Amino acid sequence: MNQLLGFVKKEFTHIFRDPRTMVILFGIPIIQLMLFGYVITTEIKDARIAILDHSNDNVTREIKNKILSSGYFRLEANLIQENEIDPIFKKGDVKEVIVFEKGFAENLEREGKANIQVIADASDPNTAQMLYNYTNGIVQDYTKKKFAGFTIPVQIKSEVRMLYNENMVGAFMYVPGTMALILMLISAMMTSITIAREKEMGTMEILLVSPLKATHIILGKVAPYLLLSLIDAFVVVFLGNVVFGVPIRGSLFVLAFLVILYISMALSLGILISTVANSQQVALFISGFALMLPTILLSGFIFPIENMPVPLQILSNFMPPRWFIDALKQVMLKGNGFAYIWPNVLILCAMTLFFLGLSVKKFRLRLE
Amino acid sequence: MKQTSEYTGPIIRVKDLVKKFGSFTAVDHISFDVKKGEIFGFLGANGAGKTTAIRMLCGLLEPTSGALRVAGFDGYHQREAIKRNIGYMSQKFSLYEDLTVYENFRLYAGIYGIPRKERIRKTDELLKKLNLEESRDKLVAGLPLGWKQKLAFSLALFHQPAVVFLDEPSGGVDPLTRRTFWDLIYEVAHQGITIFVTTHYMDEAEYCNRVAIMSEGKIVALDTPVALKEQYHTDSMDGVFLKIARNKE
């Protein structure tokens, strides 16, 4: 135990004496958070929606046909009652629910006016805004064509409600994503580099020849980064809350659990990388290309997954940040607990174990 | 922890030691003994199996077959005990450059579980002996190469091991510094600590009590430098080495 403590202490000294490491640890997270606070435009295709049709008449059927044949939407469920709306959002199956009021065609004929309510999951604000615009566009287009010859102006009014993120703040989407990116950067990249550095400097040999056990060496290298990553996660959540007003609706316990799980996953990835990388440059290269780019591009952080070509959609399933970002949004923005995020938790656990197992195997192979 | 004091036989016993990686035999039935306090040189071209042999002696690799005892401990089942009783210094000196001299001592002492009190006393003593007192709180990165070499050697000896393995300890160091370094090695050997050294420098080979030369996994020559020179009719270890290499062809 004392041996391990001395080792961890030394690791902290390495970190605090290297200005570059300090910048990566504490400068980059803040800069990235601020940068990603700005909105990046995205596009929609085949978004899953549900429809609650209270009248089910000719006009509503026509409008539904138009919407579903547009290519932007895919019908996930036909709802019967209002109280089905909330659960289906919480489950995360649909991005938008379209509600037709009772006696839709009648109202339109008698008063020249009928109402559609569009409810969107705005924890992903770009997508939500886009979905609403598309829906509205289709409805207006339909109205214009259908009632072109009429003298009285006919109006179908669509009313929109953004769930979970009423004010459509872009940062709501980017804070969880930035967190995923930063934790990956610090945990995976920094550990792989620091272990590779010991190999490069030849100090790893000394450690291996010493009575320290391999697990102690790895634990000693990893523990400081676990702690510092946690601090960074706290800083991101705190800044997100104070600067961008991103809420934390779920329990802090669930949030902390999720963050620690994700950090563990990233750390085991870092260890895995260090088993194949013998120099800091190689470690940096692998973690940069193999981790950072997929985290940014394939996790749904910036580009909606439902909009990707099918092969990339499949590939995104293997990206740990995807599951983390999704779960994080659910916890922070929707206030969901384990009852909803357990599949994500399970997947992240499985990935962590897989990476750890693989690194142990690689480590042994290398020693032999 | 120190279970070696009563042990009087050869510090290193190697008998028909073999290490295979798949179908490749890296070390092929080598045998030798190293006495207490002896300076034993281990020579050979790159790829001759030196590194693999040393890794087994250090408890890092389990042998495929043959007998191996280091400091009285078995090379198969007591590798952890071997690790506690040996010191190791690599050609890169393997110091933490961003730690101070003192912090390096503290770290190594911690790894080997040396109590605080003893650590402080020994560190002061060693710094005095090496004339490094003024550099106590300086970062290792700023020290001259020769000082780093001495420091690395002292660290390898800090936990009073029975054997110290020096893996090309003089890489990049000028001949004069090398000479003073060897004075240090002689001093340590006099205290009864066994020195096992690999080297590329033939002048260093001359300093050893006995020298083993490895080629293609086998030990092809093993004797004192004087006897080896006589046997190969040459006046330097360089000559011995070249003749062995030629005989191979």
Q: What are the structural domains of chain A?
A: 2-39+170-367 (no CATH), 47-163 (3.40.1710.10)
- The dihedral sign for the CA sequence B199, B205, B210, B214: positive
Contact B112 A211 (CB under 8 A): yes
Write down the pLDDT at residue A316. Answer: 87
Smallest CA–CA distance, residue B236 to chain A, in Å, is: 32
- What distance in Å separates the CA atoms of residue A156 and residue A114, rounded to the nearest whole number? 5
Q: Cβ distance B64 to B19 under 8 Å? A: yes
Q: Do the strands B39-44 and B210-215 form a parallel or antiparallel pair, or are they unpaired?
A: parallel
Crossing angle of helices A252-276/A171-183, nearest 10°?
40
E-strand spans in A101-180? 113-121, 155-163
Under a CB-based contact definition with an 8 Å cutoff, are residues B244 and B215 in contact?
Answer: yes
Q: A209–B103: do the CB atoms touch at under 8 Å?
A: no
Looking at the DSSP bridge assignments, the partners of residue B89 are B166
User: How many contacts does A have with B, using Cβ atoms within 8 A?
Assistant: 67
| Residue in B60, B88, B112 closest to A367 by CB | B60
What is the pLDDT at residue A122?
Answer: 80
In a domain, B193, yes or no: yes
CA pair distance B156, B241, nearest whole angstrom: 29
Tell whether A205 is within 8 A of chain B (Cβ): yes
A205/B86 touch (CB, cutoff 8 Å), yes or no: no
DSSP β-ladder status, B194-198 and B65-70: unpaired
User: What does the alpha-carbon distance between residue B226 and residue B43 come to, in Å, rounded to a whole number?
Assistant: 16
Tell me, what's the pLDDT at A35?
75
Q: Is A6 part of the contact surface with chain B (CB cutoff 8 Å)?
A: yes
Q: What's the confidence (pLDDT) of residue A164? A: 65
ipTM computed for the complex: 0.84
A368 touches chain B (CB under 8 A): yes
Helix (H, G, I), strand (E, B) or coil at A135: helix
Give residue A171's pLDDT.
61
Residue A111 tokens, joined: 């008063």
Give the model's pLDDT for residue A365.
60
Looking at residue B3, what is its pLDDT? 45
What the block records as the tokens of A59 is 């006009």
The reported pTM is 0.73
Domain assignment present for B29: no
Tell me what pLDDT residue B29 has: 92
pLDDT for A89 equals 86
Q: Smallest CA–CA separation between A8 and chain B, in Å?
A: 10
| pLDDT score at A4 | 82
Q: What amino acid is encoded at A43 in this protein?
A: E
Residue B39 lies in a domain: yes
Tokens 């020849």 belong to: A209
Q: Structural domain tally of chain B? A: 1
Determine the residue of chain B that is closest to A18 in CA distance: B98
Nearest chain A residue to B114, by CA = A3
Q: Give yes or no for A13 touching B (CB within 8 A).
A: yes
- Which residue type is seen at B29? H
Task: Say if B11 falls within a structural domain.
Answer: no
B44: in domain: yes
User: Which residue numbers in chain A have pLDDT < 70?
Assistant: 1, 37-45, 148-171, 364-368
Q: Which residues contact A115 (CB under 8 A, 6 or more apart)?
A: A101, A104, A107, A156, A157, A158, A159
CATH of the domain at B118: 3.40.50.300
Residue B11 amino acid letter:
I
Domain assignment present for residue B121? The answer is yes
Tens place of pLDDT for every residue, chain B, 249 residues?
Answer: 444 445 567 899 999 999 998 889 999 999 999 999 999 999 888 778 888 899 899 988 889 999 999 998 998 999 889 999 999 998 877 889 899 999 999 998 888 888 889 989 989 988 888 888 888 899 998 888 888 888 999 999 999 999 999 988 887 788 888 888 899 999 999 999 999 999 878 888 889 999 999 888 899 889 999 999 999 888 888 888 888 877 765
> Is B22 domain-assigned?
no
Interface test with A, best of B94, B101, B106 (most A CBs within 10 A): B94
User: Of B23, B88, B21, whose CA–CA distance to B49 is shortest?
Assistant: B21
CB A138 within 8 A of CB A161: no
The vertex-B116 CA angle with B112 and B118, nearest 5°, equals 85
Q: Is residue B23 part of a domain?
A: no
Q: What range does the domain containing B121 cover?
A: 34-60+82-248
DSSP classification of residue A307: G
Residues 6+ apart with CB under 8 A from B196: B12, B34, B40, B42, B54, B57, B163, B164, B165, B166
Q: How far apart are CA A145 and CA B235, in angstroms?
A: 107
Q: Which of B88, B97, B99 sits opposite A206 (nearest CB)?
A: B88
